[in-house]
Structure 1
Amino acid sequence: MALQRDSRIFIIGCGISAIGAAQKLLKHGFCNVHIIEATGKSGGRIRTGRLGDNIVEIGANWIHGPSKENPVFRLACDYQLLDKESMSEENQAVDIGGHPLFVPNWFTSSGRKLGPEVMGPALEFFMKILERSQQFYDSGGEPMPSVGKFVKSEAKRLAPEEWKEDQANINIRMAMINTLLKLECCVSGTHTLDEVGLGAFGMYKTLPGLDCTFPGGYEGLIDNMMKELPKGIVSYNKQVKCIHWNNTKDEPDTTATSGPVKIECVDGKTFAADHVIVTVSLGYLKKHKDTFLSPSLPLNKLHSIQRMGFGTNNKIFLEFEQPFWDEDCELIYLVWEDDTDLCDVVSDIKTSWIRKLTGFTVLKPTERFGHVLCGWIAGHESEYMETLSELEVLHSVTQVLRKFTGNPTIAPRKLLRSQWFHDPYSCGSYTYVAKGCSGYDIDNLAEPLPPNGSNSKPLQVLFAGEATHRSFFSTVHGALMAGWREAERLVSHYAPASTISSKL
C-alpha cells in the first residue's frame, strides 16, 4: 500500500478532466498528487463571464443530456447548482437526440420575418437527412467521405420532389438549409461539414434529458469540485515545456529524486514523477506535438492527432434595451436569401466573415438575463472575427441585425465575445471526427505511454480530456469520464499490491 500512496502523480492542466482524475486518485489513497496549470485559474474550457450584470458562459454552455447517466448532471444535483425544472424526472426523460427543440424566429436578408409554415418544412427536411448521416457508423458502407458532401447532395436531390407543390418557397428553404449547415458547423466545431467524416459521424452518442444550464454559471461546478481537493494541490501560472518520459539519466533534480518521467516547465523548474496524466486540449497537442514530449510521440499516435479534427466555435453576446424578437422565441435564425447553392463557408473571409454568423440563442429566463442574445459562429470566419476589435465586431453585427429586421435603429448596448482559437492553451474549441478519422484514432490517443509490451516502467504518460472519449468527445461529461478512466487505470495498476498488503 505504501507504494500506491507514495507514487508521484502529476496532472497537466486543471480542467474538469484533471480535477476529476485528482479527486478519484485521492479517494483511492494516493497522497502524492499534483496538478500543473498554465493559467491563473481552474476550469479549462469551462469559463463563466459577465456581460454587465448578467452571467454568461464564455466556454461550455449546457449540460448535454442531463440525466442519471451523465456524471456532470449528477454532480450538479449533488452540489445543488440547478433549478428544480432541470432536475425534474420529466426533464430527464426527454430525448432530443442532441438537438434542442427551440422555439424559433426566422429573419431574412431582405428584412422579412417568416413563419413556421414557410421555414418549418426546411428544418424538418434537414434534420431527417442529418439523422440519416449518423446511421453509417453502425451500418457501414458510407457513400461519401464527408457529412457535408452527403447532406448537400441529398438536399439538392430530394428538395425538388419534397416541395414540388410549393415551388414559390423552394429558394428560401434552400437558403434556410444553408443556415442550418452553418449552424451544424457550430455544433460540430468545424470550419465546414465537408471536413467531418461521414462514417464516424454517428460515433458520438447523446444522452436523454433536455439540455440545461447553470443558473449561477458553469464555473460553480468547478468551484465545488476544487473545494474537495487539498489546498496547494495546483501550481498555477506554470506552463509545461516538455514531458521527458523513459527518463534514465541520473541528473540532479530541483524538487525530488529522479523518476521515469521528468516534467520541464518554461520557467526552468522541473518535477520528477512516476506517472503524468496529460489533459491538455487536442488543439494544444496538434500545435505542440513535436516538442511536448521527449522522446517524441510514437508515429501512430502522431498520425491520430493529425487525423482528428479540432475546430473553433465562438460566441458573440449582445445586450439590448428592448427585444426585437417574439416573447416566446428561444432561437433566431439569420437566412441569407442569396445563399441557395448550399455552401457552408464564405468566399472572402475578410469582407464576408459575418455571413457565417448563423443566428442567436435567446438567454432565458428574461428575469435573470434581461434581453441578451448569444450569437454563434464557427470555422475560419470565426477565427478571423477574433482578430477584429470589439467595436468592429459590434458594428458588423449591428449592420446585419438592421438589415435582417428592417429596423434601422437596432443598437446592442453591450458586446462580449469568446476568442478560443487565439487562446494559447486551447487553440480552438473542441474535437470532431474529421474525414479519414475513426474510433481507432480516439482510442489510440487515449493509450498510455510506453506502449504495451515495452520493457520500460508502465503508465508513465496517460492521456485524458474530451478528445480521448470515443462516445462523448466535445463534451464536459466526456472530459470528466476520461479523467476518471485514467485515474482508475492507475488504481487498477496498483490494486494487486494493495490487495496483498491488506491480507498481511
Structure 2
Amino acid sequence: MGDKIVEIGANWIHGPCQENPVFRLACRYQLLDAEAASEQNQAVDVGGHPPFVPNWFSSAGRRLGPELTEPAEALFRGLLEECQRFHRSGGEPVPSVGEYLKRCAPGLAAEAWRDAAARELRLAAMSALLKLECCISGTHSMDQVGLGAFGMYHTLQGLDCTFPGGYEGLIHCMMKELPEDIVSYNTAVKCVHWNSSVQRAGPNGRAFPVWVECENGQSFPADHVILTVPLGYLKKHQKTLLSPPLPLNKMHSIERMGFGTNNKIFLEFEQPFWSADCEVIYFLWEDESTLTDAVRDVHRLWMRKLVGFTVLKPTERYGHVLCGWIAGHESEHMESLPEEEVLKAMTQLIRQFTGDPTITPKKMVRSRWFHEPYTCGSYSYVARGSSGYDTEMLAEPLPLKGSTTEPLQVLFAGEATHCTFFSTVHGALLSGWREGTRIASHYGSSSFPASLSSKL
C-alpha cells in the first residue's frame, strides 16, 4: 500500500508462546519487535480475544461510550464461553452457535438492562460482535457453525502480535533453509494420479505409484505426495483433482466441513477520525437490536456486514491506516464490485457513522479471497452437522487403512486438517510437520529431530 506493508492474508501470530511453532521460528529469525517477543507478552492469556481499545460509532452518527458498550461486550463474551463448553460437556441444545446466541441473548438482556433504550443499543452492539465472530470463524453466519464442536478450537497463551516486515519475511527465511531450485514455480497441478493408475516408467525405468500431472504438460513421478491445497479448493475440485477420485467417506467429510470467506478492506487517511489510543472501531446499526449477522439484500446492503476496522499500529510505521473486516456472501459480493464502488461505499459508511461529511479516504486496497482460483475462500470452520471425525478423515492418507497397495501415496495437510488449530498459520505448519513425520516414520525414523531447522 504505497511504501507500507499490509497483510492481505494472514495477519497475526495467534497465541505467541513457546507452544506456537510460528512464534518460535519468528523469534529464531529475529522477525519480531522486542515487545512481541518478550516473556511478558507470552504470559498474557486472553482466550483468543485480545482486549483491543475500541471506538464505537452508531448508524445515527454518534459516538457511544464504554458505559453503554462494555456490558454488551461482557454478555456476548460470556455467551461465547458457554458455547465453547458444550464440546467438553457433550450434547447441544441447538445445532449452531448462532441459534444459541440468538435464543439466549434477548432474555439475558431483559434481565440485566431495565432501560429499554440502552437495552436496544446493547443488543445492536451484540449484532456487531456477532458479525465480528463471523470474521473470526470465517463463515457467512454463525448459524452455520456447529455448537457442539465450537470448543474444538484451542487457544494458546500470548497477546497476538504481527510481523513488522510482513508475514512473507517468515516464508523467505524458511525457504533459505531449503536446497536451491527445489521449488517449481508457475507449475499448477492439474491432477494427482495415484494407486498406480498411470502405467509409465519413471527415472531408471522404475514404476511409481503416483504421477502428478501439471497444467503446463509436465508430469512428476512420486512415491508420496502431500496435498496442502485449501479446503475451499478441495471442495470445488475434489472430483477431478485426484484420479481415481477420493473415497466416498472422504468426499462426504469434505462436503460437511465448513469453509468461508473473510476479506479485508484497507483505507488510508490524511488524519485519523479515531482516538489516539483506539485499536478497533465498531459500527453499530441501531435497527439491529434483533441479533443478526446476515443482511436481507446482499447486492444492495452488503456494506452492513462490515463490522468495523482495526487500526494498524504503530502509527509511525503505518501512518493513518485502517483494516476493515467483512465475511460471508456479502464479502464475496464485494469482491465482484469495481474498486471505485467499494471505496464510495466505505466513504459513505464512515461519514454516516461519524457524522462527519468531510472524511475522505485517500487510498484503498482490498483482498479477494473467494475469487482467488487456488483458495476459493479464506479458512475452515467446524460446520453444523460436522465434527472432529471429518477433520480426521480429511487428514487420513491414501490409500485408506486396510489397503494392500503401497502406503502413504497421497497425504493431506493444511489448516483444515488440524483438529484444534484449524484456521491458523501454526495449525497449517504443524499439519505439514505431522505428515513429514508420518513419511519419516514409514522409513524407520520415529520422528524428526527436535530442532526446527531439521524439520524444515
Q: Same fold (TM over 0.5)?
A: yes
TM-score normalized by the length of structure 2: 0.96
**Which residue in the other structure is 2:451 paired with?**
none
1:52 aligns with 2:2: yes
Q: Secondary structure at the match of 1:315?
A: strand
C-alpha displacement of 1:389: 1.1
1:327 aligns with 2:276: yes
1:311 aligns with 2:260: yes
TM-score normalized by the length of structure 1: 0.87
CA contact (8 A) 1:191 1:378 kept: yes
**Which residue in the other structure is 2:391 paired with?**
442
C-alpha displacement of 1:231: 1.0
1:113 aligns with 2:63: yes
1:189 aligns with 2:138: yes
1:394 maps to which of 343, 348, 352: 343
- The one-letter code of the counterpart of 1:127 is R
**Which residue in the other structure is 1:94 paired with?**
44
**Paired residues for 1:142-181 under 5 Å:** 142-164=92-114, 166-181=115-130
CA contact (8 A) 1:244 1:293 kept: yes
Per-residue CA deviations over 1:384-406 (Å, capped at 9, x if unaligned) read 00001111100000000000000
1:342 maps to which of 291, 295, 302: 291
C-alpha displacement of 1:239: 1.0
Question: Which segment is superposed worse, 358-367 or 263-272?
Answer: 263-272
Per-residue CA deviations over 1:271-314 (Å, capped at 9, x if unaligned) read 11100000000000000000011110001100110000000000
Q: Secondary structure at the match of 1:54?
A: coil
Counterparts of 1:167 and 1:249, CA distance in 2:
70
1:372 maps to which of 309, 321, 338: 321
**Which residue in the other structure is 1:271 paired with?**
220
1:424 aligns with 2:377: no
C-alpha displacement of 1:168: 2.7
Q: Secondary structure at the match of 2:191?
A: strand
CA contact (8 A) 1:178 1:343 kept: yes
Counterparts of 1:128 and 1:177, CA distance in 2:
12
- The one-letter code of the counterpart of 1:112 is R
Counterparts of 1:379 and 1:85, CA distance in 2:
34
CA contact (8 A) 1:205 1:472 kept: yes
C-alpha displacement of 1:263: 0.8
Size of the aligned set, in residue pairs, is 447
- The one-letter code of the counterpart of 1:181 is L
C-alpha displacement of 1:248: 5.2
**Paired residues for 1:112-261 under 5 Å:** 112-164=62-114, 166-247=115-196, 249-251=198-200, 257-261=206-210
C-alpha displacement of 1:255: 9.9
C-alpha displacement of 1:257: 4.0
Counterparts of 1:229 and 1:249, CA distance in 2:
30
Q: Secondary structure at the match of 2:444?
A: helix
C-alpha displacement of 1:269: 1.4
CA contact (8 A) 1:254 1:271 kept: no
- The one-letter code of the counterpart of 1:122 is A
Counterparts of 2:384 and 2:102, CA distance in 1:
16
**Which residue in the other structure is 2:13 paired with?**
63
Counterparts of 2:204 and 2:154, CA distance in 1:
43
CA contact (8 A) 1:361 1:375 kept: yes
Counterparts of 1:111 and 1:204, CA distance in 2:
37
**Which residue in the other structure is 1:466 paired with?**
415
Q: Secondary structure at the match of 1:91?
A: helix
**Which residue in the other structure is 2:453 paired with?**
none
CA contact (8 A) 2:109 2:119 kept: yes
1:483 maps to which of 429, 432, 445: 432
Counterparts of 1:215 and 1:497, CA distance in 2:
37
CA contact (8 A) 1:259 1:274 kept: yes
CA contact (8 A) 2:267 2:321 kept: yes
The two structures, once aligned, show a CA RMSD in angstroms of 1.4
**Which residue in the other structure is 1:80 paired with?**
30
**Which residue in the other structure is 2:454 paired with?**
none
Q: Secondary structure at the match of 1:132?
A: helix
CA contact (8 A) 1:402 1:409 kept: yes
C-alpha displacement of 1:497: 11
Counterparts of 1:266 and 1:363, CA distance in 2:
39
Counterparts of 2:338 and 2:151, CA distance in 1:
38
Q: Which runs of no fewer than 5 residues in structure 2 stay unpaired?
A: 448-456
- The one-letter code of the counterpart of 1:385 is M
Per-residue CA deviations over 1:325-370 (Å, capped at 9, x if unaligned) read 0000000000010111111100001100000000000000101110
Counterparts of 2:104 and 2:40, CA distance in 1:
36
**Paired residues for 1:269-308 under 5 Å:** 269-308=218-257
Q: Secondary structure at the match of 2:56?
A: strand
